[in-house]
Amino acid sequence: MSKSNWARSVQKVLMAGAMTAAMGSSAFAAEAVKMGCVLPLSGGSAAVGNQTKVGVEIAAKQINDAGGIKSLDGAMLEVVFADSQSKPDVGVTETERVIARENVSVLCGAFNSAVTFPATEVAERMKTPWVVVGSVKDEITERDFKYIFRINNKATYDAREQIDAMDMLKDEFGSGPKTLAMLYEGSDWGRSHAANVKVIAAERGYEIVVDEAAPPNQTDFGNQLLKIRAAKPDAVIVALYTPDHLLFTRQMMEQRLDLPFGVHSVGGGMEDPAFYKALPPEAAFYAFVQEDWQIDILKVSTDPAILSADEATKAALGYGMSAYTAQGISAVYVIADALERAKSADREALRAALAETDIQSGPALVTGYNRIKFDEQGQNTFAHGVISQNIGGERKTMWPKENRAADSTPVWPVPAWSDR
Amino acid sequence: MDAFILSYAVVNGLLQGAIYGGVALGLSLIFGVLRVVNFAHGSFLMLSLYISFWCWSLFGMDPYLSALINIPAMFALGYMVQSVIIAPLIKRESAMVVEPLSALLLTAGVFLVMDNAALMAFGPDVRALQAGYYVPTIVVGGIPISGQRLIAALAAFAVAGGISYWLRHSDMGRAIRATAQNRDAAAMSGINVSSVYAMTFGLGCSVLGLFGALIAPFLPISPAIGLAFGIKSFIVVVLGGLGSISGAIVGGIVIGVFEAVASQFVTATSASIGSLVLFILILIFRPQGIMGRA
Amino acid sequence: MTSPVLETVGVRAGYGDIEILRGIDIVLPPKSIVALIGANGAGKTTLLKTISGLLPLRAGKIALNGEQIGGMMPHKVVEAGFVQSPEGKQLFPDMTIVENLMVGAHSKRARGRREETMEEVFELFPILHERAKQRAGTMSGGQQQMLAVGRALMALPRVLALDEPSLGLAPIMVSRLMDSIEKVRHRDLSILIIEQNIFQVLKMADHAYVLENGEITKQGSGSELLADPHLRSTYLGL
Amino acid sequence: MSEEILRVQGLSKWFGGLQAVKDVNFSMQRGEILGLIGPNGAGKTTAFNMIAGFLKPNSGSVHFAGKDMTGHKPWDVCRAGVARTFQLSKPFGDMNVVENLMVGGFARHTDRSRNEARAFEIAEFLGLGDRARSEAQSLTAFDRRKLELGRALCTEPQLLLMDEVVAGATPSEAEEMVQLVRKVRDRGVSILIVEHVMKVIMSLSDRVIVFDHGELIADGKPADVVSRPEVLKAYFGENYDIAGA
Amino acid sequence: MKTTIAAKSTRSGGLRLNQTTVLVTILLVLALAPIVVTDSFTLHSMIMVLFFAYMATSWNFVCGYVGQLSLGHAMFNGMGGYVSVLMFTQLGLSPWLGMLFGGVLAMVTAVLIGLPTFRLKGPYFTLTMIAFAEIVRIWIENTNEFAGIPLKGAEGLIVPNRGDDFWAFQFSTKLPYYYIILSFLAVALVATAWMERSKLGFCLKAIRGDRDAAEALGVNPTFYTSLAFAISAFMTAIGGSFYAQFFRYINPERSMGLELSIDMAVMSIIGGQGTVLGPLLGAAILTPIAEIARGEFGGGLLGLHLVVYGLALMLCVLYFPKGAIEPIRKLCLRYFGGNER
């Protein structure tokens, strides 16, 4: 892994050099369309940023290999990556750089809401369209901005869907949780998710008996697990990033903590492929995961672009597509679609085209949505998460019910550790 | 809160606290002898975790077995950091007491370089030793105890005891203690002070080599893990008494049990604020720590 | 004339940009006691530190039994046989007496004979034997001074340097210590002693140097200097 | 002329089990140079530090110009008019001579240009005029001592406490320092001086007090004091009585 | 004997005349720079350099001159930001006034923290400051509301857009921000230059040089260090307000985190702590390194700039204890002559 990272970096330097040389000497057939991509490539969320980056690269390559943007005489897509380091100020600076210096036509990113929020403001001010990837903070598409579009869920949707799934299972099986524990990472994402869950859970008559935030990079979850054990909730809602989610899950297994209605994760660690590489499969059995794409889409999809994207992801990262990779892919295809319709790399034209987006098929829907169409605030109203349950090591879609495969039946309530 | 949960919390706290203590041992030892606060302490642990990971992932080596590689590797690295980076500083300021602040800055530099070089080399992905590797959980009085954590906790006691015994009863150990107490007098007794310094630094780091191998089986590994343990180690050794071997273990257990019990009453976040407050109070009112002599 | 055990020629040393020793020549014949006297700050301790290798030698030569030891690392100097019992209470306060003594015999040459040497030291200072397990820091000033000398002896010195052994001691302890030092000289050992308590030390010294401002201003046998009215005036201003 | 500037009463200090200063009483008149002598470890520096506010006495009192200064902090003692020098001179190494002196001036005046002018004046007075802009760490040991004295003078003291001013100085330097101290006294500053070099003490002091093992064992004119048996014994040990005295 | 590295690392007074000339020249060039630089990104980058220069200068005001290493200054940065933003959003108070309140809060905190901690030596002080800052950060991150004030925890605070409004501290172009941070920096530099020559500066340098000797010369170390610490905290808080207004967003992780504290200290130390221009130089060297590392490698070599920071820090401690400004000063002396002092 280390080797490939180094190799890639070196390659990049060489490529940059070659490119400068090429630009000096010859003109391109059609001028490439530059798109900026601001992601946390170092810092706390670097792993996620990297997976998204791979998705963006794969999609751009697929489009370019297929002849580029046809309405622009086969113009190539050129992606300029910028590292936000998960820091708002760096993200903003990088956004400025990519817009002013690299002169990109469109931007995407930036995963961390803390970065996306101020960075999209720069884009709005500089009249450059931005396709939000991964950030769920509601306010991002509630500011009457004209240039900001979001394909994925808002945070409040995530919380509602989790509770929806519980309600659905309750109806289906006649039993369900009454008391809930919440364990979440103590930064922006985890905390805002918890706040949303609290509101919706109260509305639907669930009682929150443990409400526990954990600072990132814990070395032990024993104390939190014990607290959950003492409070005896029926289920736990978890919002943790990969390292903490791993530790939590491992310790939960070690400590044989039984919850009748299981673990409901809102993604984070449990949608990271690295998570499943690092644990014995039984550790995550019966866990519910809410993801921003449909994990078993590869089974249903026949789209060659999606299938080859999975192969390409495996080649680049050593594991298959994740929600992050998928979102990266989706964003690029949405942008390409807009470019085709705009017939121009001009920012205004592109903005107009994006606003008109209505995708109902193709690789842009790798995320499992059946449509992508933005409302006047730029939010994709067709966005939804998909909740799967881990059955025998495989995540099988359970919610929405219409996405459920024929052979998928939820296990509800979940068996105790001693019965597994 | 019932007695079962309380005793469960204490067991958890003891296990985790002993591991904190074990990880902090080297920091305390190095400070006790060289008067250098090694800001890069956590980075050495991080590197050691990675060595264990790579040994397992590339060669399928048992993580506990990889201690045989980790310990000498970390010893060599520590020895080198001392003799190449810190020794010139000590030499330059040989006419005076080693200036703790410049040494802190140097090790802060080492921290920045190590953590970020690891990020460059290994990438930001979280890694963990996989699935198959598993020591069973034992259940005592209804309380499940992770086998891997138990091994690491027992090792902390063993290593602390071993180092204390070795410091007391071996020639090199006595030389290290003598150097810690009076550098010039040690030199006048025929002790090669610079080699003692390098040995001590190496030893302190090799303890991290061992613990890297012991906690790799249950801890997710990322370049950022070092700082988490590093800050914890500072708290632990200040609490126990900088420079005291038994103090590191005692400090670790105090913090471990404090956090475990406190987080049953308040949130874990408030408990961690509590341990920071404790840390500040100790520094201000009892800078020698619990076990240190006034 | 027998060749000297220790000889310094034109030794210069100091701290930072301040030169404290401005060319010191001293000679120690075998089995002799040589005293170095002079006011505070005259450079006596600096000279010992320079010979020990704790301070860099800026110019000059230091020979021990004909071997050049100038500029060596301190532990090498000890290995060569020049051992200093430092001024004040430079012990290892948290270690026991036995441990202090064992550390004294850390050098390779001395380690092999450690047990025997310790017996000899105990014979010389029985009090150390009685308190073998006591922590050095808890002993009285006189006992600490004995331990300091004992620890230096553990290194099997060829030249033993004593820096103000009587500092801060009650007169009775000083006499006892001086007696012990007298005993030590009968072993195959030369002693270089720094003292403020000049009368006692001059009585026992074979030869003495008077150090002023980093220079040797006077030298002679102990009795010669004792009889020197000038010395008295330097010390008392009379 | 007989105004009392310093009175020390029943001053005692313990360090752990060791009593470093035992019930010491003495006083000083304005304009006097008082020598404080005694063998190493006699408690001179401890007493000195208690007067200057660096150590808190266990018992006893220190009155300066009629005011009780016992246990006051060093900066308060300084502002009350008592300045001190250190045995190991402590110049502020990376400041130059004038700047070092100005620190002293700021103890009393905030006006920078006044302090600077005054600092140059003192530098001249010390014979450091030509090195006024040199970094303190580049000075010779003796110049550093003079600088330390000058810094103390800049605080405009009424009483100056001096610790071992000629240690390590050549005879000519020692002579220069003696002259300097006399000139300081002529400016109306009273001086308490701790010194090892007897020649200096004898020629400078109006009066001498002797410490041994923490106790004050003699008080009187220099010539008288040094001929007292207890003083000789303290200095030279038991068998001080030798020929040629 | 207790001289710190800082003690050795600095020169006082400086090239008195020359320093003023250099200072004025630099400020003039910076003030005129926007005539040439019209590109918004370059201007943005320059604002970031000036911002970090300002932060490092604020840090240097106490830490550089007293020779203590504070790795908790980000706490004051956060306070300034939070107070000004909250006063603006909750009370409608102009950030220009709000930042003063933030500064005062930071000052009071600094005094309360400084009194017990400033007598701690070396690493003990550093660790205590880290702990204080972490407490504040963790507390804010986990507090959605405190006494009716919506702190919004880790989510951070958003400054509502008011368009081009001077009193709201909001401008549609970069230029006003550039001149604001430039004037802040100018004030900070002039304040440092003034402090260096005033009683306060002499006292601080004396404390750093030798605490005992300083005390003997009438300097009450607690008083002067607390005073300088309070001023430094005030300046840092003003910087925090600027940050919050400039990005119109502030969150505890970034604005109170250890990394920002390390940035401030490292820039100051590498440039030359305890000098007027050192921190400016440090920021001018290091900020672009980070930018270039990011720009050139686009995240390909993650953390490269921090490796460079670390190496530069080690080199400086070992070989240029007086910071990068020292060799430059010597060169200037050689080529342009002038008094050593």
Residues 157-196 of chain A whose Cβ lies under 8 A from any Cβ of chain B = 186
**Residue E277 and residue E23 in contact, taking contact as beta carbons nearer than 8 Å:** yes
CA distance B264 to chain A (A): 6
φ, ψ of residue C212 in degrees (nearest 5):
-135, 125
**Residue E190 and residue E22 in contact, taking contact as beta carbons nearer than 8 Å:** no
Residue A109, domain member (yes or no)? yes
Residue of B nearest to A222 (CA): B12
C196 touches chain D (CB under 8 A): yes
**Residue E198 and residue E190 in contact, taking contact as beta carbons nearer than 8 Å:** no
**Residue D147 and residue D126 in contact, taking contact as beta carbons nearer than 8 Å:** yes
Asked whether residue A342 falls in the same domain as residue A364, the answer is yes
Helices B3-34 and B193-215 cross at an angle (nearest 10°) of: 150
Asked whether residue A170 falls in the same domain as residue A60, the answer is no
Q: Which fold has domain C6-89+157-235?
A: Rossmann fold (3.40.50)
For residue A320, the Cα-to-chain-centroid distance in whole angstroms is 14
**Residue B7 and residue A230 in contact, taking contact as beta carbons nearer than 8 Å:** no
Q: Which amino acid is at A168?
A: M
**Residue C155 and residue C105 in contact, taking contact as beta carbons nearer than 8 Å:** yes
* Closest of D65, D98, D97 to residue D82, by C-alpha: D65
Give the 3-state DSSP-derived string for chain A, with helices as H, strands as E and coil as C.
CHHHHHHHHHHHHHHHHHHHHHHHHCCCCCCCEEEEEEECCCCCCHHHHHHHHHHHHHHHHHHHHCCCEHHHCCECEEEEEEECCCCHHHHHHHHHHHHHHCCCCEEEEECCHHHHHHHHHHHHHCCCCEEEECCCCHHHHCCCCCCEEECCCCHHHHHHHHHHHHHHHHHHHCCCCCEEEEEEECCHHHHHHHHHHHHHHHHHCCEEEEEEEECCCCCCCHHHHHHHHHHCCCEEEEECCHHHHHHHHHHHHHCCCCCCCCEEECCHHHHCHHHHHHCCHHHHCCCEEEECCCCCHHHHCCCHHHHHHHHHHHHHHCCCCCHHHHHHHHHHHHHHHHHHHHCCCCHHHHHHHHHCCEECCCHHHHHCCCCEEECCCCEECCCCCEEEEEECCEEEEEECHHHCCCCCCCCCCCCCHHHC
CA dist E162 and E92 (Å) reads 12
Q: Label residue A233 by pLDDT band (50, 70, 90).
A: very high
- C-alpha distances in angstroms, A87 versus A39, A118, A364? 10, 10, 28
Contacting residues of C for D237, CB less than 8 Å apart: 166, 171, 174, 197, 199-200
The CATH code that applies to domain E21-336 is 1.10.3470
Residues 154-183 of chain B whose Cβ lies under 8 A from any Cβ of chain C = 168, 171, 174-175, 177-178, 181-182
Please compute the mean of the pLDDT values over residues E156-167 and round it to a whole number. 86
B1 touches chain E (CB under 8 A): no
Reply yes or no on whether the pLDDT at A28 is more than 60.
Answer: no
CA dist C159 and C78 (Å) reads 10
What local confidence, expressed as pLDDT, does residue B282 receive?
Answer: 87
Provide the mean pLDDT of chain A. 86
E309 touches chain B (CB under 8 A): yes
Chains in contact with B, where contact means 3 or more Cβ–Cβ distances below 8 Å, are A, C, E
Q: For residues D60 and E16, which has the higher predicted lDDT (pLDDT)?
A: D60
Residue A336, domain member (yes or no)? yes
Asked whether residue A165 falls in the same domain as residue A218, the answer is yes
Q: Label residue A12 by pLDDT band (50, 70, 90).
A: low
What local confidence, expressed as pLDDT, does residue D1 receive?
Answer: 46
What local confidence, expressed as pLDDT, does residue E208 receive?
Answer: 87
β-partners of residue E157 are E250
Q: Read out DSSP for B2-31?
A: -HHHHHHHHHHHHHHHHHHHHHHHHHHHHH
CA dist D51 and D82 (Å) reads 9
What local confidence, expressed as pLDDT, does residue A27 receive?
Answer: 42
Q: Is the link from the previous residue into A400 a cis peptide, with omega within 30 of 0? A: yes
What local confidence, expressed as pLDDT, does residue A48 receive?
Answer: 83
**Number of C-beta neighbours around residue E319 at 10 A:** 10
Residues 22-41 of chain E whose Cβ lies under 8 A from any Cβ of chain A = 39-41
Enter the tokens of residue D88.
């190991």
What torsion do the CA atoms of D113, E272, E54, A85 make, to the nearest 10 degrees?
A: -170
Reply yes or no on whether the pLDDT at A273 is more than 50.
Answer: yes
Reply yes or no on whether the pLDDT at A21 is more than 70.
Answer: no
CB contact under 8 Å between E132 and B280, yes or no, is yes
Please compute the mean of the pLDDT values over residues C58-66 and round it to a whole number. 91
Contacting residues of E for D151, CB less than 8 Å apart: 213, 217
CB contact under 8 Å between D199 and C229, yes or no, is no
Q: How many residues are given for chain D?
A: 245
Using DSSP bridges, classify how beta strands E149-150 and E145-146 pair: parallel, antiparallel or unpaired.
antiparallel
Enter the tokens of residue A211.
């409400």
Q: For residues C90 and E136, which has the higher predicted lDDT (pLDDT)?
A: E136
Please compute the mean of the pLDDT values over residues D185-211 and round it to a whole number. 87
Contacting residues of E for A100, CB less than 8 Å apart: 39-42, 44
In chain B, which stretches have pLDDT less than 70? Answer: 1, 93-100, 130-134, 292-294
**Residue B228 and residue B18 in contact, taking contact as beta carbons nearer than 8 Å:** no
- Considering only CB atoms, B120 lies closest to which of E1, E3, E303, namely E303
What local confidence, expressed as pLDDT, does residue B97 receive?
Answer: 42
What local confidence, expressed as pLDDT, does residue E241 receive?
Answer: 96
What local confidence, expressed as pLDDT, does residue A147 receive?
Answer: 95
What local confidence, expressed as pLDDT, does residue D98 receive?
Answer: 92
Please compute the mean of the pLDDT values over residues E214-222 and round it to a whole number. 91
* Architecture category of domain B3-285 in CATH: Orthogonal Bundle (1.10)
- Coil, strand, or helix at residue D29? strand
Q: What ipTM was assigned to the predicted interfaces of this complex?
A: 0.84
C and D touch with 3+ CB pairs <8 Å, answer: yes
Q: Tens digit of pLDDT for each residue in A347-373?
A: 999 999 999 999 998 899 888 888 999
* Interface probe with B: pick from E317, E319, E322, most Cβ of B within 10 Å: E317
C147 touches chain B (CB under 8 A): no
Please compute the mean of the pLDDT values over residues A241-248 and round it to a whole number. 89
Q: Tens digit of pLDDT for each residue in C179-218?
A: 777 777 767 788 998 876 677 788 888 899 988 778 888 8
Size of interface A-B (CB pairs under 8 A): 134
C50 touches chain B (CB under 8 A): no
Sorted by where each begins, the domain ranges of chain E are 21-336
B294 touches chain C (CB under 8 A): no
CB contact under 8 Å between E254 and A88, yes or no, is yes
Asked whether residue A223 falls in the same domain as residue A96, the answer is no
φ, ψ of residue A110 in degrees (nearest 5):
-130, 25
C227 touches chain D (CB under 8 A): yes
Please compute the mean of the pLDDT values over residues C18-24 and round it to a whole number. 83
Range of the domain at A323: 33-153+301-373
What is the b/e burial string over C49-68, where b = at least 16 CB atoms within 10 angstroms of the residue's CB? bbbbbbbebeebebbbbeee
CA distance A414 to chain E (A): 32
Residues 298-317 of chain E whose Cβ lies under 8 A from any Cβ of chain A = 298-303
Asked whether residue A278 falls in the same domain as residue A311, the answer is no
* Closest of D214, D203, D206, D239 to residue D38, by C-alpha: D214
C172 touches chain D (CB under 8 A): no
Q: For residues B14 and D139, which has the higher predicted lDDT (pLDDT)?
A: B14
Contacting residues of D for C228, CB less than 8 Å apart: 244
What local confidence, expressed as pLDDT, does residue B24 receive?
Answer: 95
Q: For residues C2 and A163, which has the higher predicted lDDT (pLDDT)?
A: A163
* Interface probe with E: pick from D77, D95, D111, most Cβ of E within 10 Å: D95
Geometric angle at alpha carbon D19, from D15 and D22, rounded to 5°: 135
- Considering only CB atoms, E216 lies closest to which of D78, D106, D133, namely D78
Enter the tokens of residue E311.
């190496």
Reply yes or no on whether the pLDDT at D211 is more than 60.
Answer: yes
CA distance E220 to chain B (A): 20
* Percentage of residues of chain D with pLDDT beyond 90: 42
Q: Tell me D71's DSSP state.
A: T
How many domains is chain A built from? 2
B124 touches chain A (CB under 8 A): yes
Q: Label residue A2 by pLDDT band (50, 70, 90).
A: very low
* Percentage of residues of chain A with pLDDT beyond 70: 93
**Number of C-beta neighbours around residue A315 at 10 A:** 11
**Residue E54 and residue E185 in contact, taking contact as beta carbons nearer than 8 Å:** yes
Q: How many residues are given for chain B?
A: 294
Reply yes or no on whether the pLDDT at C19 is more than 80.
Answer: no
Sorted by where each begins, the domain ranges of chain C are 6-89+157-235
* Closest of B218, B188, B167, B190 to residue B53, by C-alpha: B218
Enter the tokens of residue B199.
């040995």
**Number of C-beta neighbours around residue B149 at 10 A:** 25
Residue A261, domain member (yes or no)? yes
Domains and CATH numbers, chain D: 4-90+158-244 (3.40.50.300)
What local confidence, expressed as pLDDT, does residue D224 receive?
Answer: 85
E102 touches chain A (CB under 8 A): no
CA dist B113 and B128 (Å) reads 23
**Residue D165 and residue D88 in contact, taking contact as beta carbons nearer than 8 Å:** no
Q: Tens digit of pLDDT for each residue in E54-89?
A: 999 999 999 999 888 899 999 999 999 999 999 999
What local confidence, expressed as pLDDT, does residue E296 receive?
Answer: 67
A94 touches chain E (CB under 8 A): yes
Residue of E nearest to D80 (CA): E218
The CATH code of the domain that includes A41 is 3.40.50.2300
Q: For residues D186 and A24, which has the higher predicted lDDT (pLDDT)?
A: D186
The terminus-to-terminus CA distance of chain C in angstroms comes to 39
- C-alpha distances in angstroms, B163 versus A34, E4, E159? 61, 33, 56
- C-alpha distances in angstroms, D89 versus C44, D36, D37, D93, D142? 19, 19, 19, 11, 9
Q: Which amino acid is at B136?
A: P
What local confidence, expressed as pLDDT, does residue E340 receive?
Answer: 40
Please compute the mean of the pLDDT values over residues E293-300 and round it to a whole number. 63
* Interface probe with D: pick from E66, E217, E220, E322, most Cβ of D within 10 Å: E217
A and E touch with 3+ CB pairs <8 Å, answer: yes
- Considering only CB atoms, C237 lies closest to which of D199, D237, D240, namely D199
Residue A94, domain member (yes or no)? yes
Longest Cα pair distance anywhere in chain D, in angstroms? 61
CA distance D224 to chain C (A): 11
* Interface probe with C: pick from D19, D37, D40, most Cβ of C within 10 Å: D40
Asked whether residue A148 falls in the same domain as residue A260, the answer is no
- Coil, strand, or helix at residue D10? strand
E314 touches chain B (CB under 8 A): yes
CA dist B223 and B225 (Å) reads 6
**Number of C-beta neighbours around residue D95 at 10 A:** 26
Reply yes or no on whether the pLDDT at E322 is more than 70.
Answer: yes
Stated pTM of the model: 0.86
Reply yes or no on whether the pLDDT at A24 is more than 50.
Answer: no
- Considering only CB atoms, B119 lies closest to which of E3, E303, E318, namely E303
**Residue A373 and residue A364 in contact, taking contact as beta carbons nearer than 8 Å:** no
CA dist A372 and A364 (Å) reads 8
What local confidence, expressed as pLDDT, does residue E28 receive?
Answer: 92
What local confidence, expressed as pLDDT, does residue E15 receive?
Answer: 42
Contacting residues of C for D203, CB less than 8 Å apart: 237
CB contact under 8 Å between C213 and D242, yes or no, is no
Residue of D nearest to E195 (CA): D112
- Coil, strand, or helix at residue D189? coil
Contacting residues of C for B194, CB less than 8 Å apart: 73
Asked whether residue A183 falls in the same domain as residue A61, the answer is no
Enter the tokens of residue A378.
């730029």
CB contact under 8 Å between B37 and E127, yes or no, is yes
Would the CA dihedral through A173, A174, A175, A177 be positive or negative?
A: positive
Sorted by where each begins, the domain ranges of chain B are 3-285
